[in-house]
């Protein structure tokens, strides 16, 4: 594991609504940063494995989001689509430190 | 913590279904052990008939194979009959002496064929029709012998007779009465059935009572009460079933005809539950799977210690699984005493339909020869829909209500494999059939999740249900009489709304807590519904929860396939002017909006706006007085109008002004599903008012009001509500109608479906014949509009709100 990888500061947890998401815009496309009801934070590529819908715009329930285009449900921790749908979207490491959110972009899991 | 031990006695359809339901909601609650007297895994008993007839193989009908039990950690004892239950020591004992202890016990022992108490009934060659063993015996006999007699002309008997005939035997069906399947059919339908079966080669002896079964080493014939005898090498008794209660009885569990259970499927011993054909619930015994599956669900809920579900009995319908015979029966099919009967008969085509009606509500149905509308009648019956508005056409089926649209009169069975069933998701018939067979799907819901068929617009639902039925050969798909709001709860829409009102629940978490929601914060189906119900119940008070709204309503714009949005400003009554048009043109140019389109709703759509740009676009439009058109909302959409009296040579009233007035009154209102209106200036109806949720057609002497139209997935022409004289009345009726719909329809149910469910007569009673009720509704509507009519675009275009539309951060 590469401990040297860069953590980028992306904002404060209050900037994201509970049961909601905001995006981090990158040259390689948006990364959606989700905040659950219990203040857990997840980062996944803002691209639904089905037809590329923006997951950040979906309804967040538990640790899952329903894609706004055709309602696939994506698990935020693994990026997997809920069966019987099949597909996965990339996840990124995020952490909360001193009230700040940090994201690691170079190592999608 | 040590897991509790659950023992299931009976490895059949009801028992294993309960285990499946339990695994879904509480997979780790129990160590499960199953005892089954048969040497097989759980199989689909219903399909024994097609196996006997050679249309399916035994392999096809296995529901849960050995791997399933193993991978779910279930200990299965096949071929081991439980002969004793020791309730004090809480253990069960099998015939071969194995003992096992339980914390909870589930009895699912099913039933046994009733064997007539006549001499000779124990002879070899005399059997019932219940399990794989019976089918094997019949197949063996069909290879060696020629003559079969089936005693009993009910569902099971006829299916057995048909199978044996298909296997080459000469079959006589003996029936005590003059009507076949008398528990499902009336005389005329039964006669049609008998004729069709005779044509296919079966013989019948009606009104014949069996006196004795003849033979020494094996059956050789049957003697009847009148002394006559008929030769037979095989006798199948299909005169009824008896719940298997001996085991329960011997353990001192209270039984009458079946094992007595309460609404939670608990027996008199609180540790012991029972489901399936072995139970007796509210005096009722069971013989079809649909109610057993409902019981399984409730029982699992209690085994999982959720403790909220109740089983309150079921309404069932029946079909006969004899290929080529199309028959449907449900409810009080006989009619008579106090009931009315609607009849359709076409003997030449072999079609017979009877609906039994009381106070304009369907109480029962018998269909023969054309059962395409069975599911629809069944739905009307369970919902208690008032059919007076379409009573004269009801026998012609659902496709005859409203004019065009792709109704449900397609015949699933006749469709080629490659035919597209679901146009939204491009699913063809074969995909659906394969999924049903390979993945063992039973319900419409299952088929939806696995294939996506009918998961989008839903117009092919009826067809998918028919495919399900023709593939499974039976009527499983009956959704439970009580339809839960979503998978997070067992409560119906109505129960949830009632709880919100009666218990003064004011937030989504409060509702979920009070009603024991199964998930922490719901799902994308229930949260928007709850948000709406709260908002409707507590107007001017409830704080809207944007996170529980679909993105379109959160962003106040329609999301497009590429993630951009569309912007549709309100064009009141479809009337605009150069200033507004110029403003729209300027915005389109300034923001380089790729597409500007005239919509089907008489307004202008700006398509392809990136999310970040929305507030700026709105601010610019707002400067010129343009506000949100709610093209994205479960709310009032457009009010279409025609030019009316002001210009048109036929116009009778000022339809344009009427439309604008209605739009000014109703805009901003949130509703269960979208609401569209139109006002036409004369009966030529250029504004297409008769396919709108609320349509107004001006006539010389006033205004005709029409309700419940839909121009979408399935076209439905409006029902005529009433005629009024003044513009003020149009507004009052319109507001009252909106409010009734807002307060009583289910979330996502459009007015067309709502009215089909509750009946036009009900709506008329609340709005037309009862002025007090109308005025009260109207007042509540106006009250709730006070805080609703705030332009959301103006609010969100403010600098302070713009961050919601911006990325959190840009990198690189
Ligand atoms: C823009 C427009 C098409 C057009 O270019 O003309 C349109 C576009 C959409 N319609 Fe429509 N409908 C449009 C007029 C209609 C009409 C005609 C009318 O209103 O007179 C109908 C049939 C009339 C009716 O509703 O009964 C219509 C029946 C539907 C339906 C089927 C509704 C039904 O109950 O059967 C849907 C699906 C749904 O709502 O679930 C739908 C859904 C949609 C959605 C919202 C699909 C979606 O979920 O993304 C489309 C949004 C596109 C967008 O971003 O604006 N649209 N849609 C029209 C907007 C009218 C407006 O000014 O607001
Ligand atoms: C030929 C046929 C056609 C049918 N067609 C239809 C139809 O079209 N539509 C419909 O809805 N229904 C139909 N049914 C009825 C349906 O199959 C039953 O309602 C359903 O199978 C009952 O489920 P159950 O679990 O209660 O009983 P079963 O499925 O019979 O399961 C009970 C199991 O318990 C076992 N058992 C009993 N006592 C013991 C014991 N002491 N120890 C261990 N194991 C024990 C039995 O061996 C049996 O395997 C049909 C039935 C038959 C036989
Ligand atoms: S605008 Fe309406 S008809 Fe056209 S593709 Fe979208 S939903 Fe279908
Ligand atoms: S793009 Fe996400 S569900 Fe289709």
CATH homologous superfamily, domain A2-103: Rieske [2Fe-2S] iron-sulphur domain (2.102.10.10)
How many angstroms is it from B749 CA to the middle of ligand 3? Answer: 19
Q: Which residues of B touch A54 (CB under 8 A)?
A: 559, 563
- Residue B148 β-bridge partners: B171, B234
Task: Give CA–CA dist B547/B632, Å, rounded.
Answer: 16
Which residues are CB-contacts of B540 (< 8 A; sequence separation ≥ 6)?
B783, B784, B786, B787
Quote the minimal CA–CA distance from A84 to chain B in Å.
6
Instruction: Please choose, from the candidates B515, B480, B477, the residue with its C-alpha nearest in 3D space to the C-alpha of residue B499.
Output: B515
* B439-461 pLDDT, tens digit each: 888 888 888 888 888 776 766 77
Q: Tell me the CA end-to-end span of chain A in Å, nearest whole number.
A: 12
CATH homologous superfamily, domain B555-623: Sulfite Reductase Hemoprotein;Domain 2 (3.90.480.10)
Task: Give CA–CA dist B123/B125, Å, rounded.
Answer: 6
Q: Which residues line ligand 4 (CB under 6 A)?
A: A 48, 50-53, 67, 69-72
* B670-710 pLDDT, tens digit each: 999 999 999 999 999 999 999 999 999 999 999 999 999 99
Mean predicted confidence (pLDDT) in B115-138 = 96
Is residue B113 left, alpha or beta, with left meaning phi > 0 and alpha meaning psi from -120 to 50?
beta
Please confirm whether the linkage preceding B577 is cis (ω < 30° from 0): no
- Beta carbons of B655 and B681 less than 8 angstroms apart: yes
Which residues are CB-contacts of B457 (< 8 A; sequence separation ≥ 6)?
B424, B712, B713
What are the extents of the domains in chain A? Answer: 2-103
Both tokens assigned to B448:
């939806």
pTM equals 0.68
Task: Give CA–CA dist A87/A70, Å, rounded.
Answer: 14
* B283-315 pLDDT, tens digit each: 999 998 888 988 999 999 999 998 888 898 877
Q: Does domain B638-788 have CATH number 3.40.50.10330?
A: no
What is the reported pLDDT for B436? 86
- What's the fold here for domain B126-239? FAD/NAD(P)-binding domain (3.50.50)
Is B523 within 8 Å of A53 when comparing Cβ atoms? Answer: no
Residue with the bigger pLDDT between B585 and B401: it is B585
Task: Give CA–CA dist B244/B11, Å, rounded.
Answer: 13
Task: Give CA–CA dist B112/B129, Å, rounded.
Answer: 9
- Beta carbons of B634 and B671 less than 8 angstroms apart: yes
Task: Give CA–CA dist B681/B643, Å, rounded.
Answer: 7
What atom in ligand 4 is closest to the CA of residue A71? Answer: 3
Quote the minimal CA–CA distance from B556 to chain A in Å.
12
What is the reported pLDDT for B451? 86
- Cβ-count burial of B227 within 10 angstroms (0-12 exposed, 13-18 middle, 19+ buried)? exposed
Share of chain B above pLDDT 70, in %: 96
Task: Using DSSP bridges, classify how beta strands B82-86 and B427-428 pair: parallel, antiparallel or unpaired.
Answer: unpaired
Task: Give CA–CA dist B713/B715, Å, rounded.
Answer: 6
- Beta carbons of B784 and B776 less than 8 angstroms apart: no
Find the closest chain B residue to A59 by CA distance.
B524
CA angle B278, B284, B289 (to 5 degrees): 55
Task: Give CA–CA dist B462/B452, Å, rounded.
Answer: 14
pLDDT band at B425 (very low <50, low <70, confident <90, very high): confident
Same CATH topology for B4-110+243-303 and B126-239: the answer is yes
* B552-567 pLDDT, tens digit each: 999 999 999 999 999 9
pLDDT band at B616 (very low <50, low <70, confident <90, very high): very high
DSSP state of B350: T
Find the closest chain A residue to B807 by CA distance.
A23
Is the pLDDT score of B737 beyond 60?
yes
Task: Give CA–CA dist B438/B446, Å, rounded.
Answer: 12
Tell me the pLDDT of chain B averaged across its residues: 91
Q: Does domain B4-110+243-303 have CATH number 3.30.1360.70?
A: no
Ligand 1 binding pocket includes B641 (Cβ within 6 Å): no
What is the reported pLDDT for B427? 84
What are the extents of the domains in chain B? Answer: 4-110+243-303, 126-239, 493-549, 555-623, 638-788
* A76-106 pLDDT, tens digit each: 999 999 988 899 999 999 999 988 999 998 7
């Amino acid at each position: 594991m590469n401990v040297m990888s860069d953590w980028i500061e992306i904002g404060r947890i209050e900037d994201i609504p509970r049961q909601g998401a905001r995006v981090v815009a990158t040259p390689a496309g948006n990364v959606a940063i989700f905040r659950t009801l219990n203040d857990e934070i997840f980062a996944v590529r803002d691209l639904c494995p089905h037809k590329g819908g923006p997951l950040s715009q979906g309804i967040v329930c538990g640790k899952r989001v329903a894609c706004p285009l055709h309602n696939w449900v994506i698990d935020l921790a693994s990026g997997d689509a809920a069966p019987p749908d099949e597909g996965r979207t990339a996840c990124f490491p995020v952490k909360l430190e001193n009230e700040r959110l940090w994201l690691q972009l170079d190592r999608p899991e | 913590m040590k897991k509790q031990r659950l023992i299931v006695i009976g490895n059949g359809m009801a028992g294993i279904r309960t285990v499946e339901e339990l695994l879904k909601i509480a997979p780790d609650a129990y160590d499960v052990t199953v005892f089954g007297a048969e040497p097989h895994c759980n199989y689909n008993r219903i399909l024994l008939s097609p196996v006997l007839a050679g249309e399916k193989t035994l392999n096809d009908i296995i529901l849960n194979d050995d791997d399933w039990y193993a991978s779910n950690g279930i200990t299965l004892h096949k071929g081991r009959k439980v002969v004793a239950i020791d309730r004090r020591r809480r253990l069960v004992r099998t015939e071969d002496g194995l003992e096992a202890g339980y914390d909870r016990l589930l009895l699912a022992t099913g039933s046994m064929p009733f064997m007539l108490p006549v001499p000779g009934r124990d002879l070899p060659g005399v059997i019932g029709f219940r399990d794989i063993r019976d089918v094997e015996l019949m197949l063996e006999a069909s290879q060696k012998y020629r003559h079969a007699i089936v005693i009993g002309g009910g569902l099971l008997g006829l299916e057995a007779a048909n199978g044996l005939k298909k296997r080459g035997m000469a079959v006589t069906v003996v029936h005590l009465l003059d009507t076949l399947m008398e528990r499902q059919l009336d005389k005329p339908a039964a006669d049609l059935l008998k004729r069709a079966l005779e044509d296919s080669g079966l013989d019948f002896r009606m009104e014949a009572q069996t006196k004795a079964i003849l033979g020494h080493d094996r059956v050789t014939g049957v003697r009847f009460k009148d002394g006559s005898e008929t030769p037979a090498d095989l006798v199948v008794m299909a005169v009824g079933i008896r719940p298997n209660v001996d085991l329960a009885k011997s353990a001192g569990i209270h039984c009458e005809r079946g094992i007595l259970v309460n609404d939670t499927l608990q027996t008199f011993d609180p540790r012991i539950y029972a489901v399936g054909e072995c139970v007796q619930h509210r005096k009722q015994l069971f013989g079809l799977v649909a109610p057993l599956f409902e019981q399984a669900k409730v029982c699992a809920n209690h085994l999982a210690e959720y403790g909220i579900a109740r089983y309150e009995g079921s309404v069932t319908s029946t079909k006969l699984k004899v290929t080529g015979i199309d028959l449907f029966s449900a409810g009080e099919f006989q009619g008579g005493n106090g009931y009315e009967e609607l009849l359709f008969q076409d003997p030449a085509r072999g079609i017979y339909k009877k609906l039994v009606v009381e106070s304009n509500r369907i109480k029962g149905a018998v269909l023969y020869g054309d059962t395409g509308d069975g599911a629809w009648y069944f739905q009307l019956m369970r919902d208690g829909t008032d059919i007076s508005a379409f009573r004269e056409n009801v026998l012609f089926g659902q496709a005859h209500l409203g004019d065009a649209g792709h109704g449900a009169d397609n015949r699933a069975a006749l469709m080629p494999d490659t035919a597209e069933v679901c146009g939204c998701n491009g699913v063809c018939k074969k995909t659906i059939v394969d999924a049903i067979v390979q993945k063992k799907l039973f319900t419409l819901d299952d088929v939806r999740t696995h294939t996506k068929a009918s998961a989008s617009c839903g117009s092919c639902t009826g067809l998918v249900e028919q495919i399900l039925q023709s593939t499974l050969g039976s009527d499983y798909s009956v959704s439970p009489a009580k339809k839960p709001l979503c998978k997070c709860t067992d409560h119906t829409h109505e129960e949830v709304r009632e709880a919100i009102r009666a218990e003064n629940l004011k937030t989504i978490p409060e509702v979920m807590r009070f009603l024991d929601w199964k998930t922490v914060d719901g799902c994308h189906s229930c949260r928007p519904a709850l948000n709406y119900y709260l908002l409707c119940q507590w107007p001017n008070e409830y704080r809207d929860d944007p996170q529980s709204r679909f993105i379109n309503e959160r962003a106040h714009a329609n999301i497009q396939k590429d993630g951009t949005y569309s912007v549709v400003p309100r064009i009141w009554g479809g009337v605009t002017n150069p200033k507004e048009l110029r403003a729209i043109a300027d915005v389109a140019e300034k923001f380089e909006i790729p597409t500007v389109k005239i919509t089907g709703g008489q307004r202008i759509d700006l398509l392809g706006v990136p999310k970040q740009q929305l507030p700026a676009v709105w601010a610019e439009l707002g400067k010129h007085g343009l506000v949100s058109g709610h093209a994205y909302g479960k709310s009032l959409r457009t009010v279409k109008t025609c030019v009316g009296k002001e210009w048109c040579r036929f116009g009778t009233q000022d339809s344009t002004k009427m439309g604008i007035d209605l739009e000014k009154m109703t805009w901003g209102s949130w509703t269960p599903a979208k609401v569209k209106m139109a006002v036409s200036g004369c009966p030529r109806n250029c504004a297409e008012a008769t396919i709108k949720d609320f349509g107004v057609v001006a006539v010389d002497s006033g205004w005709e009001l029409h309700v419940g139209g839909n121009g979408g997935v399935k076209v439905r022409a409006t029902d005529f509500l009433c005629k009024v004289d003044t513009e003020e009345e149009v507004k009052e009726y319109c507001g009252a109608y909106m409010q009734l719909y807002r307060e009583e329809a289910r979330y996502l149910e459009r007015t067309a479906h709502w009215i089909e469910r509750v009946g036009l007569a009900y709506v008329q009673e609340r709005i037309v014949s009862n002025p007090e009720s109308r005025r009260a509704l109207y007042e509540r509507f106006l009250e709730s509009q006070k805080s609703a009519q705030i332009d959301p675009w103006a609010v969100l275009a403010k600098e302070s709100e713009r961050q919601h539309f911006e990325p959190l951060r840009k990198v690189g």
